[in-house]
Structures are given as structure tokens and as C-alpha cells.
Structure 1
Amino acid sequence: MATREPVECPVCREPTAQGQQLEDHLLESHSKPELASFVAAETTVPATGDPAD
């Protein structure tokens, strides 16, 4: 049986545990304020350009 590679979390850049769904990782490992800040930052990047510039 084939197994899937862990997915990298876009918030902490760590791989999820083997067999763990990304949604479960996000709910268990990150607070609501942390997730809200991440989403807000991601939605403002296209409007203002690359933050690395």
C-alpha cells in the first residue's frame, strides 16, 4: 500500500506527523490569533507586492 508524504504546514513550515491531516495539525498546533494573522498576511501580499522586496 502506498503512503503519502507528510504535508508541510504553511504556518510553521514543519511537516505534519505521519498520517496526520493538515487541518488537524492546524487545529492542534496553532492558536486562532496565529492562524488569523497568517491568513491576513497572506491576503495582503498580492495587493502590496512581495514582502521580500
Structure 2
Amino acid sequence: MATRNSIECPVCREPPATNQQLEEHLVSTHTKRKLAKFIVAETTVQTNEDVSE
């Protein structure tokens, strides 16, 4: 039987608690500023990759 890898938080690279969904983990564990910085960093990387192709 195939098994799935556990979901990992893209911000802190930790899996949410066993009884916790990723969205709940993001809201309860990370500040708005930390989430915003993560989104800006990811967007910057994606934008730079598009230009370099």
C-alpha cells in the first residue's frame, strides 16, 4: 500500500500537529508579517525565474 508524505508547512518546514490542518497551523503559529514576508520571497523567486528563461 502506498503512503503519503506528511504535509509540511512551507514557512517553518515543520508538519502541523497530528490533529491540525495546514491552514489552522499557518493561522495559529505564524504572524501576518511572517506569512507576508514568505509570500513576497516566493513571488520574487518565481518572478526572477520567469525572466531568466
RMSD, aligned CA: 1.6
Q: Which has the larger share of helix? A: 2
**Residue of structure 2 equivalent to 1:19:** 19
Q: Scaled by the length of structure 2, what TM-score is found?
A: 0.75
Question: Structure 1 stretches (4+) deviating beyond 2 angstroms?
Answer: none
Instruction: Write the mapping of 1:11-50 to structure 2, written as runs, cut at 5 A.
Output: 11-49=11-49
Task: Give the SS at the match of 1:13.
Answer: coil
Q: Scaled by the length of structure 1, what TM-score is found?
A: 0.75
Compute the displacement of 1:5 (Å).
Answer: 6.1
Q: Unaligned regions of 5+ residues in structure 1, if any?
A: none
- Aligned pair count reads 46
**Contact 1:8/1:14 (CA < 8 Å) preserved in 2?**
yes
Q: Unaligned regions of 5+ residues in structure 2, if any?
A: none
Task: Give the SS at the match of 1:24.
Answer: helix
